[in-house]
Structure 1
Amino acid sequence: MVKTLNKLIFTELRGRTVSVLASGNRVLQIGTAPDREDCALGTICVGRVRNIVKNINAAFVEYRPGINGYYSLAENRFHLFADGRDGSSPLKNGDEILVQISRAAVKTKDAVLTSKLSLTGQYGVLTLDGSGLGISSKIRDAGWKEQMKEWWEEEARGLVSGLSGTGLPRAGFILRTNAYGAPLEAVGLELSGQAERMARLLENGRCRTAGSILYQPESFFVRSAMDVRKDETEEILTDLPDIYQELQEAAGDGFQVPVRFYMDSYPLSALYRLDAALDRALGRTVWLRSGGYLVIEPTEAMTVIDVNTGKNTDKKTASETYLKTNLEAAEEIAVQLRLRNLSGIIVVDFIDMKEKAQNEELMRRLRQCLAADPVKTVLVDMTPLGLVEITRKKTLRPLHEQFSRSEKNR
C-alpha cells in the first residue's frame, strides 16, 4: 500500500493567515500565525524582576514594557543575570535577567518564562539546562543512538564548552527526529552555529536595557517549514506571495521538501475545503464511521471527551459494538487533539466495557495512536471509574481560542 504524503499549506482563512497540514482530503492540523503584537514562543528578552511571591515560589518578570511573565523559582534555580553575576545568587526585585518565553500567555494566564535558554534548529535544540545530550523519544534505533552518544563525547561537546561561563552547569543538545539519518557534518555545523549565536546573545545581554529583545526565532512559516520531514511531506504550498518569498529566502537553511507557489485562480482554501474542515474542528460533535460520535468540551481546567455509540447499527453483541466504537474513537481522539491543539489535562469517558482484556486492547490502541503526535502526549492511566487520563504539552493556544480571538479583533 502506497503511503499518502502530507502537504503543508499556507493560505488565508477567515481573515487569518493559517498553516494547514493535509493528508489527501483530510486536514490533520490547523494553526494561525501569531498576531504581530505577540512575542513568539522562543523569544529571548532582558527582563526586570517586578515581584517575588514566596508562597508560590515564583517571580513576575517584566519582559516587555508593561507585560509580565511567570518565572518559577523551583524550575529556574540558576539565573542569567544581565550584569554577569553568578547564576546561583538569590534573585531580588529589580534584578535584570535574561529570560525566554517557554509558553504563550493564555486568557488570564501570563506567559511562562525560563532561564533555560534554548535555540531550536532543524536537527537539534541547544539548551542551557545542564542536560548533556538528549535524543527524541520517537527515535528507537539503539545503534544510531550509541553512535550519536560517541559523537557527542568525542566531537560535539567541545563545540558548546565555551558556554560554561554562563552560571549554568553546562550546555546541552537535544537531537530532534529530523536528525535521524542526517549527515553528522550537517548536525555538527548546525550545533556550531547555534553555540556561536548563543555566545553572542549572552554577551549582548550585558549591555542591553530591560525589555530589549535579544533573539526572535524564525517566523511562524519558516519554523513550520523546517519541521516537516521528506518521508512524511510531499511539498510546501502557498498562494501568498510574501510568504512564498520568505520561504524561498530561508530555503538555504535546508528545507527537506520543495516549496511551490500556487497560481491557479481557484483558491487553495476552497480546493482543500478548509472552511468546512475548520467548522468541524471547532464543532462540539465529531461523528465516527461506525455511527458513534465524540462530544468534545474544552473547559478552563481540562478538556472532557465523551464517547457514544450513537447510530451504530452493527449486528453484533453489545460487547463487540462497544469495543469497535471505542477503538475507532481512540484513533479519532488522537487526530482531534492534534487538529484542535488541545493540551493540558484531557479526560476521556469511553463506553464502559466489563472485560479486562478489552480495556487493555483499547489502551494499547490509544497509546499507539497518541505516539504519532509530534507534541509530547502521555497516556496516564484508566481510573477506577473507567475514565482515561491524557496529558498533552501546552504550546500554542487551542484552535478554538485562536479563532475566537481573531473574530473579536475583526
Structure 2
Amino acid sequence: MNQVIINTNSFKTRAAILEDGKVMEIHIEREGEGTLNGNIYKGEVSNVLPGMESAFVNIGLEKNGFLYVKDLRDFEKKYLNGVITNPQPIEELLTVGDKVVLQVLSDPRGSKGARVTTHYTIPGKFLVLMPTNSHIAISKKIKDESERKRLETLFSKIVPEGMGVIIRTAASGKSIHHFEKELQYLVKKWEEVAIKIKSSKTGDLLYKDTSIVSKVLRDIVGNDIDEIIVDNEDVYCEIVDYVGAFSEDVSKMKINLYTEELGIFEKFGIQKDIESSLKETTYLDCGGSIVIEKTEALVSIDVNTGKNIGSMNLEETVVKTNIEAAAEIARQLRIRNLSGIVIIDFIDMKVEEDKAKVLEALEKNLAKDRVKTNIIHFTDLGLVEMTRKRVGKPLSYYFQDECPMCKGTGKIKGSRAIVESIIKELKEIVKEKDIKTIKIITKESVKEKIDEIYMDFIKLFLKKSGKKIHITTKNRDPLKDYEIRLES
C-alpha cells in the first residue's frame, strides 16, 4: 500500500511518501522559503567568461546565476536569429548588461549560485510544456511502443505551433481530454509570463512553481498511490478538488482527514525515520550497516557486514548483505535527497555473477526513484559509481547546521594540539613586562592533559619571567578551545 502523509501548519508543510509502511521520500517547505527550481526571472548579464563558455547573470538573488552556453541555445535561436548548432562563442552572443529571461535549473548551494537556463519548461501532471522548443519527447519509463506511438501522434495534433512537450509517465493510457485541458492551462501560464517580460526589470520573478502540496499532487499522486492522509482541513479540500479534476477513477484512492491529537508524523513513525536518516550510519536488518558521508564533491557510501556473521559461507553472507544494502541505499538516497556523484563501496565480491546480482538489486530499487539516476557499474577499484540529479535541497538542510567547533569537518581539535597552541601563545605573553598572572580557561580534557604532561614545563618556563599561571574550566566559552586572560 502506497500512502502520502501531509502535515501542515503556520510555519511549514511536510509531505512523506510511504511504500508498504516504509518512508521513502520526505518533502519540506518552510513558510516563505521554497526551492527556486523552476522559477523564471528577468536577468542581466554581469560577467561573461569566454574561457568557461559561460556567463554570470544577476537574477535578484544573493549570488549571481551561472549560465552555460549550451543552456542559452533556445534563447539564441528564438531571439538572436541563431540556430541550435550555432558555433558562436558565448562572448559573441552575450555582453555585460544584456537582459535575459532565465529559468532556475538547480538551487544555489554552498558558495555556488543557481544554475540557470533559457530552455524554459512549465510542468503539469501529464506533460511538461516547452514554450520555445518544438520537440516532442516521451518519458523513457513508458516502454510500450504502441503507447509511445499513440501519444506522439496525439500530441503532434494538439500542441501549438512552435511549442513542444515532454510527455510524462503519468500520461500513459490517458485520454486526449486530460491532455487538452492541461495543455490549455500550461499555455496560458506561459502567455502570462510573456506579458510580464515586457514590463519587468532585473530580478523580477516572472513565474514561480507551485507549493509543495501542489507539487506532490502533480508529480507523485497517480495510479500507484492508494491513500492520502492530511491533518489540515483546508488542504484536505484542496486535494479533493484536485484529484476530482485530474483522476479518472477517484474511488481508487482514499483521501482522509487526520484528526487525532498525536502528531501525524509521529503516528506513522515518520519523525523517527527522519531522525534516523540524519545520522551517518544506517543499520540493516541482517546486522550489517551502511555509512553515508556527504562532501562538497560527492556522496560516499560504505557497506559493512557488521554483526552479520551469517549461517552460510563467507561469499553468500557478503552477497546477501550487499543486496540488502543496495535496497537501503536506494531508499536513503530518496529520503535524504542526496544528489550529484555517488560512490558506493560494497563489500568485496570475487564472483562476477554476484556483482551482477547486487547491481540488479540496486537498479531495481532505483527504478522507483522519480529523480533521474545513472549507474556506471563497478569500476576497476571495485566501487560502484552512479549519479543522481540535483532536485531541491537535501534533508539535512532543514534539520542541521554546521558545527561551530569543527566547521563541518566532523572532527574537533585534539587536546594535545590545543595545549601546543596555548604554549605558543604563552611564549609571546612572557615578553610583556606588565603582566603578572595568566589565567587560562579551557575544557576539562585540555586541563587534564596540561596537568598530566605539561604543567611542570609551563611553570618552569613562566618562573623565569616572574609570572604565575592559573588554569580553570569554569565560565568558558563553549565555542572556543581556550581563552587567555591577563592580569597586571
TM-score, normalised with respect to structure 1: 0.88
Is 1:190–2:182 an aligned residue pair? yes
Which stretch of structure 1 is more off in the superposition, 340-349 or 104-113? 104-113
2: CA distance between counterparts of 1:263 and 1:230?
25
2: CA distance between counterparts of 1:111 and 1:192?
30
Superposed CA deviations along residues 339-383 of structure 1, whole A, max 9, x for unmatched, are 111110000001111111111222222222211211101111210
Confirm or deny: 8 A CA contact 2:35 2:393 kept in the other structure: no
Is 1:176–2:179 an aligned residue pair? no
Which stretch of structure 1 is more off in the superposition, 124-133 or 248-257? 248-257
2: CA distance between counterparts of 1:109 and 1:27?
31
Confirm or deny: 8 A CA contact 2:36 2:106 kept in the other structure: no
Which stretch of structure 1 is more off in the superposition, 86-95 or 51-60? 86-95
Question: Given the superposition, is the C-alpha separation of residues 404 and 251 from structure 1 closer, same or farther in structure 2, using an over 3 Å criterion?
Answer: same
Is 1:112–2:115 an aligned residue pair? yes
Matching residue within 278, 292, 295 for 1:296: 292
- The amino acid that maps onto 2:160 is V
1: CA distance between counterparts of 2:195 and 2:63?
24
- Counterpart of 1:50? 46
Question: Given the superposition, is the C-alpha separation of residues 373 and 340 from structure 1 closer, same or farther in structure 2, using an over 3 Å criterion?
Answer: same
Q: Choose between structure 1 and 2 for higher RCO, CA contacts under 8 A separated by at least 6 residues.
A: 1
Matching residue within 232, 235, 258 for 2:227: 235
2: CA distance between counterparts of 1:134 and 1:127?
10
Is 1:272–2:264 an aligned residue pair? no
Question: Given the superposition, is the C-alpha separation of residues 205 and 326 from structure 1 closer, same or farther in structure 2, using an over 3 Å criterion?
Answer: same
- The amino acid that maps onto 1:401 is Y
Is 1:138–2:130 an aligned residue pair? no
2: CA distance between counterparts of 1:252 and 1:43?
27
Confirm or deny: 8 A CA contact 2:349 2:355 kept in the other structure: yes
Question: Given the superposition, is the C-alpha separation of residues 60 and 258 from structure 1 closer, same or farther in structure 2, using an over 3 Å criterion?
Answer: farther
- Counterpart of 2:474? none
Matching residue within 313, 316, 330 for 1:317: 313
* Residues 8-407 of structure 1 aligned to structure 2 (within 5 Å): 8-11=4-7, 16-34=12-30, 36-38=32-34, 40-64=36-60, 67-79=63-75, 86=81, 90-128=93-131, 130=133, 132-153=135-156, 155-156=157-158, 159-161=159-161, 164=162, 171-244=163-236, 246-247=238-239, 250=242, 253-254=245-246, 257-404=253-400
2: CA distance between counterparts of 1:176 and 1:17?
26
2: CA distance between counterparts of 1:248 and 1:302?
41
2: CA distance between counterparts of 1:6 and 1:316?
35
Structure 1, unaligned runs of 5 or more: 165-170
- The amino acid that maps onto 2:38 is G
- The amino acid that maps onto 1:97 is V
1:243, distance to aligned residue in structure 2 (A): 3.5
1: CA distance between counterparts of 2:35 and 2:327?
34
Confirm or deny: 8 A CA contact 2:63 2:112 kept in the other structure: no
1:252, distance to aligned residue in structure 2 (A): 6.0
1: CA distance between counterparts of 2:390 and 2:6?
23
1:131, distance to aligned residue in structure 2 (A): 6.0
Superposed CA deviations along residues 107-145 of structure 1, whole A, max 9, x for unmatched, are 222111110111100101011463611111111111100
Superposed CA deviations along residues 318-338 of structure 1, whole A, max 9, x for unmatched, are 111111111111111111111
Question: Given the superposition, is the C-alpha separation of residues 38 and 107 from structure 1 closer, same or farther in structure 2, using an over 3 Å criterion?
Answer: farther
2: CA distance between counterparts of 1:135 and 1:181?
13
2: CA distance between counterparts of 1:120 and 1:206?
23
| Alpha-carbon RMSD | 2.7
TM-score, normalised with respect to structure 2: 0.74
Question: Given the superposition, is the C-alpha separation of residues 380 and 46 from structure 1 closer, same or farther in structure 2, using an over 3 Å criterion?
Answer: same
Q: What's the secondary structure of 1:263's corresponding residue?
A: coil
Confirm or deny: 8 A CA contact 1:125 1:174 kept in the other structure: yes
Question: Given the superposition, is the C-alpha separation of residues 56 and 35 from structure 1 closer, same or farther in structure 2, using an over 3 Å criterion?
Answer: farther
Confirm or deny: 8 A CA contact 1:81 1:96 kept in the other structure: no
Larger Rg computed on CA atoms: 2
Question: Given the superposition, is the C-alpha separation of residues 360 and 85 from structure 1 closer, same or farther in structure 2, using an over 3 Å criterion?
Answer: closer
- Counterpart of 1:167? none
Confirm or deny: 8 A CA contact 1:98 1:115 kept in the other structure: yes
- The amino acid that maps onto 2:96 is N
Confirm or deny: 8 A CA contact 2:74 2:132 kept in the other structure: no
2: CA distance between counterparts of 1:348 and 1:133?
36
2: CA distance between counterparts of 1:324 and 1:216?
46
1: CA distance between counterparts of 2:17 and 2:64?
33
1:47, distance to aligned residue in structure 2 (A): 1.1
2: CA distance between counterparts of 1:93 and 1:145?
44
- Counterpart of 2:424? none
Superposed CA deviations along residues 276-318 of structure 1, whole A, max 9, x for unmatched, are 1111111111111111111111111101111111111322111
Question: Given the superposition, is the C-alpha separation of residues 243 and 108 from structure 1 closer, same or farther in structure 2, using an over 3 Å criterion?
Answer: farther
Superposed CA deviations along residues 45-69 of structure 1, whole A, max 9, x for unmatched, are 1111111122211111111265521
Matching residue within 2, 7, 25 for 1:6: 2
**Stretches of 4+ moved more than 4 A in 1?**
84-89, 248-253, 255-258, 405-408
1: CA distance between counterparts of 2:244 and 2:41?
27
Structure 2, unaligned runs of 5 or more: 84-91, 405-488
Question: Given the superposition, is the C-alpha separation of residues 16 and 218 from structure 1 closer, same or farther in structure 2, using an over 3 Å criterion?
Answer: closer
